[in-house]
Amino acid sequence: MSQILTFLGKGGVGKTTVAIAVARSLASQNQRVLLVGQQAGPCFNQMLSAELNTEPQSIAPNLSAAHLLSTTLLENYWDRMKNLENQYLRTPFFKEVYGQELGILPGMDTALGLSWLRERDAEGKYDVIIYDGIGDLISLRMFGMPEILSWYLRRFRQALSSSALGQTLSPFLEPMIRSVLQVSSSDDLTQQAGQVTNVLTRGQQAVNSPDRVAAYLVTTTDRYSIDTAKYLWGSAQQIGLSVAGVLTRSEIDLGEFAPLAQQVIPDHVTELSIDDNLSPNRSIRPVTIDTSTQQVQLFLPTFDKRQVKLIQSGPEVTIEAGDQRRNLFLPPELAGKPATGAKFQDGYLIISFA
């Protein structure tokens, strides 16, 4: 398994430059590093002076890189889905539909990118994978996808399986889901559903563990850059992604991002070693559940009570903050107990249960 790092901040603050500099530094420390870009255009390849594609290629000792193209990824997964369809259906639906002719629909980029990252992580070839995404909120939705898909699976599995629409779509959806999630087609449907659930649970656990996935904020002293970084900080915490620290072009007021540590980076940086006090294992846990006090604490910096909405449904609590929603599955000790109050204290949203 690899540690996955990403960088968040306003456009133009130098996130890609920082990602490349950190990748080079880690590679010089004998870490096996994979640097991944998914933004459109030639800039990523130009900055690395390499012609990259979706297959990782070595660009320096201990450093490999790839540039994800959604059309290529979709073509590969479509071919995989058709092979599974041939095994699963007596009369395949999509035998005459080819991956080369498919267009990219909104949301496909994140799903394809996440699946690609999961495959590279499972290979065990890299100590660190650095992901430079399409856009920050899009990247956050990508990392939050395992939790969201788990929620949809819990909510709609029974409804779809018993409806005419679900039975009609099932022959198409099941092979496609298995192809993207790499779930075996040799097992029965109950086992396949269990495999999908396990894949999503492992993804959610990885995103929620700072030892596995973590982010850094990148900002300048510009007010807009600082406010954008603060908003992305709160949004990252909302999906359970730990933020390990702030990388700034020049020193800023420590109170802006307290209690995060900050590190000043040079204007022209080609190799950047991150300070130990910005280590991901020192980051603040986004969620703490204390069954003894019957409280759930969510660290939501930059938000206040007016910006947060809570909805409770059975054993789940939905927290809406900013443009993100999180569905928190309560442990048995709290499941079924109504929320009796919520308050903000020192950046934490504290929810109490009866």
CB 154 within 8 A of CB 166: no
Domain 3-69+106-148+199-282, CATH number (from 3.30.1330.60, 1.10.4160.10, 3.40.50.300, 3.30.70.270):
3.40.50.300
Q: Distance between CA 23 and CA 241 in Å, rounded?
A: 20
For the chain, which residues make up each domain, given as ranges? 3-69+106-148+199-282, 287-353
pLDDT tens-digit series, residues 239-290: 889 999 999 988 888 788 988 999 999 888 899 999 999 998 888 888 888 9
Q: What is the pLDDT of residue 245?
A: 94
For residue 171, pLDDT beyond 80: no
In the prediction, which pLDDT does 173 show? 52
Cβ-contact 218, 12 below 8 angstroms: no
Q: Beta strand 3-8 with 128-132: parallel, antiparallel or unpaired?
A: parallel
Tell me, which fold does domain 287-353 have in CATH? Immunoglobulin-like (2.60.40)
CA dihedral of 306, 299, 211, 28, whole degrees rounded to 10: 70
Lowest-pLDDT choice from 110-119, 198-207, 299-308? 198-207
Higher pLDDT among residues 109 and 116, named by residue: 116
